[in-house]
Amino acid sequence: MSYAVTRYDFRDKPRDYARLRDELASLLAGERDLIANAANTAALIFAALPDVNWAGFYFLKHDELVVGPFQGKPACVRIALGRGVCGTAAAQRRTLLVPDVHRFPGHIACDAASRSEIVVPLIAGGTLLGVLDIDSPRPARFDEADVRGLESLAELLLLSVRESCGRADRA
């Protein structure tokens, strides 16, 4: 199978996220494996979004976040709940938009090029599974339209694996 990823300009973010959601739906159709679908979701996001230097997942395992499928430079493996942007978004169970990572207390710098970041928690049936984390080398790269667009992609990933939904350490 060959897959041609469209690189949208995202000047109309709602429109382009809707197109990306359709692409992701086709990519995940018929597959329920969490790791496989998370890997393709990270690859699609990394290839399609401009100005992104890291895109991927951390999954909750035994009460800490452990790195999952991603695209970008090698990253820190374990993050405690409540630590860094990822651990804070997971602990607070809400999407965090960080326009300047240098001003976020406790930010964990995996790639020194990262300047802004967005982290979306993955919650299925009230259970926290992990987070989707995206970094950009551009300050204030993400806005509310990215929050809505990326939350919708994360929701699609969770729907695709719903039959096997549960904590990643039980999958």
Neighbouring CB atoms inside 10 A of 3's CB total 11
With beta carbons less than 8 A apart as the criterion, state whether 88 and 96 touch: yes
With beta carbons less than 8 A apart as the criterion, state whether 137 and 53 touch: yes
- Provide the token pair at 93: 């169970």
Smallest separation, CB 169 to ligand SME (Å):
19
Q: Decide: is 146 part of the binding site for ligand SME (CB under 6 A).
A: no
- Provide the token pair at 14: 């709602």
95, 135, 157, 168: which one binds ligand SME (CB under 6 A): 135
Length of the chain: 171
Q: Which stretch binds ligand SME (CB under 6 A): 11-19, 31-39, 80-88, 140-148?
A: 80-88
How many Cα atoms within 13 Å fall on the side-chain side of residue 152?
Answer: 19
133, 136, 142, 156: which one binds ligand SME (CB under 6 A): 133
Smallest separation, CB 114 to ligand SME (Å):
6
Measured distance CA(52)–CA(55) in Å, rounded: 7
Residues 91-130, one symbol each (x = binds ligand SME by CB under 6 A, - = not), give ----------------xx-x---x--x-------------
Residues 16-55, one symbol each (x = binds ligand SME by CB under 6 A, - = not), give --------------------------------------x-
28, 42, 43, 85: which one binds ligand SME (CB under 6 A): 85
- The edge-to-edge listing of strands for the beta sheet with 64-72 is 78-80, 64-72, 54-61, 127-136, 116-124, 96-98
CB of 37 or CB of 114, closer to ligand SME = 114
Taking alpha carbons only, the member of 58, 38, 56 closest to residue 158 is 38
* 116 φ, ψ (degrees, to nearest 5): -140, 165
Q: Decide: is 142 part of the binding site for ligand SME (CB under 6 A).
A: no
Binding site for ligand SME (CB under 6 A): 54, 75-76, 79, 84-87, 107-108, 110, 114, 117, 133, 135
